[in-house]
Amino acid sequence: MLNKLAVSNLAVVEKVEVAFGSGLNVVTGETGAGKSVLIWALELVLGGRADSSVVRDGAKEAEVEADFGGTVVRRTVTAEGRSRAWVNDESVAVSELKELGRRLVDIHGPRANQNILEENFQRSTLDRFGGVGLSKYSAAYGEWRKTADEIASLEGGASVEDEIDLLKFQVGELEEANVTSDDDDIAERHAAAAHAAEIVEGANAITEALGGDEGAETAIAKLGPVFASVAKHFPAASEWAAEAEEISVRINELSRSVADAVSRIDADPEAFDELDRRLSVVNRMRRKYGDPAAALAEKRAKLDALEHRDERLGELRARLAEAEKTVKAEGAEVTRRRRTAAAKLAKAVTKELRDLGFLQAKFDVDIREAAPAAHGCDSVVYMFEPNPGEPARPLAAIASSGETARIMLALKTVLAAHDETATLVFDEIDANIGGEVGRAVGEKMRCVAASHQVIAITHLPQSAVCGDRHFVVAKGVSGGRTRTWISEVEGEDRVSEIARMLGGEKLTSVTRKHAEELLENGKKKDRR
């Protein structure tokens, strides 16, 4: 849900902050006051087009911040047209912003990209409405595609022969190199052999310093009578003796370890040359293949598959035929369920459209057979017949922006329980319609708002009175500059705004009474 929208230096808006609530939020104001700048700001912060023209004259940059409760999105545009975006204070690309925006907010209006016109949206909407699951079909389709891809790989023609030759060479090279876990410490052994004399000299110095042939144990033993003598008069000396004995044992162990390790260093020049050659081979294999042992296993398996590809192709083609049968069977079941859902959806949406002023129009869902794809074996297209006798055409081909928004509202009313987007925005979808239809639009939006947050910019009082919250956008001149602000209205202020919408600049007692009646009727609707 959109909790707060803060806008700075965007077009005519110097600084505006509005806190939206759950349910239906209506936004009204005089023509030209800047109502749609809020939609513009929301589109901008969610990845819409940005250039220097959006920045208020004289400002260095425009900024929009939207708080969705746990997700805070911010975007700036400089006067030079440079744009930056953040999500929870982490910089993101505009492409990421757009993807996030599609999940957070669904905007419908003259300037918005209409999801409803996209086939993917139409198909997924129908599936959600009808509870059409794709898990079985998706599994079958995945197996079919995997098998088909493997067949295509094996049927590579001359290129396969070239690949076999290359694999044979690589397998031979790796087998000859025979890099195993025994070579893991080859670099260390090589370094030790290269500096054998230096290491032996140092080791001898270490063992000599640790006690030489006499050993630390003998040296400590000589101190035994001394510790015993002191302990007669100072008991702590007994602990010194025990600690000294422990130290002597550890020193002797260290001396033996040093001598043993050094004894394994081969200072023979021929042995070093062999290590040098081996290190060169191991390093070359690792540079070329990464993990030589793993690469050898992989290439052997691939070579075996290619050399026996005729047998493998026979197996795969048989599997592909079975997989295709399964895909078609599962696809047919998906299509059957979609057709059932389509009939119900068409009937329900057409009914809603009647209330929204489309008295003779008809909504339908056209499902046609198509080649198997990830989403099924058919295409789904929403059809709209505005008048009886006219052929139904794809929604994208004939509907105006106003019609599209109202059809979307009808769909949202039917699909409210199935829609995953938390916030829906309707920008003047009641334009060019009468008061009675406007009332129906308001009621439909309120119906959708029972399960979603709805923000609606409207010019019709019949729609505005249905709002749970009412915001008014106003414009004025201060200090020689035009400024826009927005405020929430309640009580008498809301009555005054509804009256203004009814009567324009002439606010009479009649229009004010009419406004009170409209608001009262709106409250009665709430109580039902």
The two three-digit tokens of residue 87, written as one number = 């999500």
Determine the CATH number of domain 1-109+428-490: 3.40.50.300
Q: Are 4 and 18 in contact, with CB atoms under 8 Å apart?
A: yes
Q: Are 73 and 89 in contact (CB under 8 A)?
A: no
Distance (Å, whole) CA 378 – CA 132: 13
Which pTM value belongs to this model? 0.66
SS3 113: coil
Task: Please count the other Cβ atoms lying within 10 Å of the Cβ belonging to residue 276.
Answer: 12
User: Domain limits of the chain?
Assistant: 1-109+428-490, 159-307
Q: How far is Cα 250 from Cα 271, in angstroms, rounded to an integer? A: 33
b/e map 391-426, b = 16+ CB within 10 Å: ebeebbebbebbbbbbbbbbbbbbbbebbeebbbbb
Residue-wise pLDDT tens for the chain (528 aa)? 999 999 999 988 889 999 999 999 999 988 777 787 888 899 999 988 888 888 988 899 999 999 998 899 999 999 998 999 999 999 999 999 988 988 899 888 665 556 777 888 899 989 999 999 999 999 999 999 999 998 887 776 557 778 888 999 999 999 998 888 877 777 777 776 666 655 665 666 666 666 655 556 666 776 677 767 777 767 777 787 777 777 777 777 777 777 776 666 665 667 777 778 888 888 888 899 988 989 999 999 988 888 887 888 899 999 999 999 999 999 999 999 999 999 999 999 999 988 888 888 899 999 999 999 999 999 999 999 888 888 888 887 765 666 777 888 888 888 877 777 889 888 887 777 766 788 888 888 998 898 899 999 998 899 999 999 999 998 888 777 878 889 999 999 999 999 998 876 666 788 889 899 989 887 766 544
How many C-beta atoms lie closer than 10 Å to residue 155's C-beta? 12
